[in-house]
Amino acid sequence: MTNQNTKLSIITINLNNKDGLKKTLKSIDNQSNKNFEYLVIDGNSSDGSQDLINNSAFIDIKISEKDSGIYDAMNKGIQLAKGEYLLFLNSGDYLNNSEVINNIISQLDGEEIIYGSLIYEDKDSSRVQHYPSKLTFSQFLYETIGHPCSFIKKDLFTRYGLYDTSYPIVADWAFFTKVIVKENVSTKHINEIITNFDLTGITARPENHDKINAERDRFLKENFSFILEDFTRTTAAEKKLERIQSSKGFKILKAFGVKKFQ
């Protein structure tokens, strides 16, 4: 059982993904170090998920009720969790091996967001996704860090608000961008693969790419309009210069010692 001094809470949300949930639950139950709180927030599934949840004795907190979407469910988990740090491991995602929690628990030692690596996984292939140790605006302008491999201090949600459900697909990216770029909270990269990430989820579906871009553009314009135009203009100029410098003509001129290009 957990208590008020729990270091880590792991939160899983699920809606009618029984097969994916089985993988997630198995990875939790297989952890050699079980010194964490585990919550499952189900959206009133009708595919047998609820029976699976109810028969899993290692789940500390379980609820099943309708919600308004992914981030509404995640917000319910945040409000119920007792841990100092939160890890979101949604159904279909699973911890990489049985020693993940044992290897990282001692590293949850003060920084407000601590993140590792993950493996992107679909039916036919997989690849490791590493993230930079130093996070910059450009990291979030073009990419993000993975929420299934990020340990977030619960206090951040108290200080800066829960996931913004007006961004139904990218609220986790919006939260990271707001607190890391705008609020400059402390971060730390750890050299561990945390999670295998299920690429069949909503953010990875090709049909949602336009919606994702629209949500990201709206967030950036609402929160970073004062620097976004200059930043994108400068970045475009830098990329153009890189293309010029890598061109065959530039290399020939440089080889002939044209000082202007050296």
To 10 degrees, the CA torsion angle through 68, 143, 25, 72? Answer: -10
Residue 162: CB atoms within 10 A of its CB come to 16
Per-residue pLDDT in tens (0 to 9) along the chain, 262 residues: 454 468 999 999 999 999 999 999 999 999 999 999 999 999 999 999 999 999 999 999 999 999 999 999 999 999 999 999 999 999 999 999 999 999 999 999 999 999 999 999 987 888 999 999 999 988 888 889 999 999 999 999 999 999 999 999 999 999 999 999 999 999 999 999 999 998 876 555 566 788 998 998 899 888 887 666 665 565 554 455 566 556 655 455 455 555 444 4
H or E element that contains 50: helix 49-54
Residue 150 burial (C-beta neighbours within 10 Å; 0-12, 13-18, 19+): buried
Of 5, 10, 64, give the one whose Cα is nearest residue 37: 10
The three-class DSSP label of residue 231 is helix
Predicted confidence at residue 162, as pLDDT, reads: 98
Of 14, 244, 71, 239, give the one whose Cα is nearest residue 141: 239
